[in-house]
Structure 1
């Protein structure tokens, strides 16, 4: 019998061929780079930010949401079908092509400052969304998937995400101890350095603990952080050896932008949500109610259903094609493309999301994950 919290749409249909949209992102954005090389018009490279911040929010609004869930009888077949894994694998080589082409353009083509910025945004977007691909791959047990995850993280120099997300964030999600869970009243610009530094520290500590238990030093070659960062050094070193030192500033700046794209998504996913403590003082198990969810169709097709984040956190091993909508999960008012744009603008974000956090908790501010520096203001507003 189906759980009443998981509505089953009898009209569910497998979106098999629509999943081709996911690896189409690096292909499309790389095409805009080729258009610049061919025409010399820097504005060709504005395609990526226009798609992310304009087209996708419009399409999400027009095409709406899809609340249907695959029946459990179909999940085993969906998991076994290699087509869905191939759709994730395909992103990685296309991502690398876009990164290499972008580095070549940065050092070999005449660029104004606006053109250089557009190039950074385009390649950074390929690799920022690539972190989402690494996220899907990194949760899997297969060796190929796990190494592809590390490779996908190499251009953003964010290889420690492989460790911290799986073993740190998933353990501490929606608690004040988690650097990647945003607090109500915390702006994205305050959250960003806290999440970046906290995640880095956590990833290092997690690997140190794991390796010490095995009798190894933290500097052992089995350190997943060192392996992932080594791939970044290999990639950047190869491009610098080929293109010269002028490639390095571009690679670093686009990596900063790429990692910031991950962090603004982190900011959206758990803003203000808090797991309560049980009678023993421990945090309750992570449930769908502890992650913001979105069923906007286009964004989910482009991001391997990352927006169905509630099911992902409640059931981390479930593959993207089988993720479900839960009625109990708090729903975002728009897809990620809209939410990250608003997230950059704190007054708009607070006006949009704070009432939703309070509605989720029935107006009880004591149940909310609060930013300490904003507590007085929030108490005056909501207390």
Structure 2
């Protein structure tokens, strides 16, 4: 059984492919259960974000796991193949540590990925698909991420996606003080966006969400004397969209919630005044055809990546330090795996020795009960144990072919250093 990291990310696949491979958080427990029941996969966890979908698993058949991923999303394996990477053992461990530390993120050093990975672990634990191997891997990855962030500058000078959205809006409108902003969704990303835009004091800001209570709760956090913040339900989008100059969206909807027709109607009501639309969701919340409208400036997560490179040079200098930490921790983890793999053999060896000890002790006690000299019984006991314990190594040395004898002699010296002269 080997450890694998299988998947695709923003380095290997465009947004149009990534959005077809996403897993909704609420679907992950059932998906993991289906995978481990239907395929020869002993342990599994899935990390699905805007920029990556990765399956971490313990299996001897990674091809079967990849086939399952393709079938689950109704994508042909051949169609998916150009975008997929398959990392095994040491490469997989290094990759997981890099992901947790933010070294593989679209925004180098961004901290959100660690929380997303922890959520993936909780879901796998709840599904019962996390065994000792993956559990230890993830706990080590969290420790590595903490060490990297506390001892390097990998997280310094980060320009977040939310800050990039502000920058794009200012590029179109200049000052945001006269603009109305709509935030669609009430998750972590929209909370960050709301915080950044609230700092620019727009004319008005509104939170739209399926659950009105959650939208109102988020809105109340940013309401102040110089900023009006409201809340609406998602089903009000169609009739309210025309009011807003800037629309940010990031929901977990599997299908677009803002379509071409809805935007066309809004533009008509606005008399074709421009709208900035920033779609931070994967799968996308806004239909791609909207980008063809002349008065809409539509940006996706991949578009924002060009802006968030600000401050990258300083963080890249920290990558070398971070990678050195990761390499050392990868070696430590592989040592643990190697020791774990030796446990069955060690258990069998000690069990065999215990059986011999118990048999010789029983024989010695019966001899003493018959009145034999304790000194003689103990001498016989020690000799018998010595002979039995050394019978295997002695026979191996005597019967070893010449080409293998040197290797076996070296092993014996390592096993019994006092007698091999290497103590």
State TM-score, norm by structure 1: 0.24
Higher strand share: 2
Structure with more relative contact order (C-alpha pairs < 8 Å, separation 6 or more): 1
Higher helix share: 1
Larger-Rg structure: 2
State TM-score, norm by structure 2: 0.22
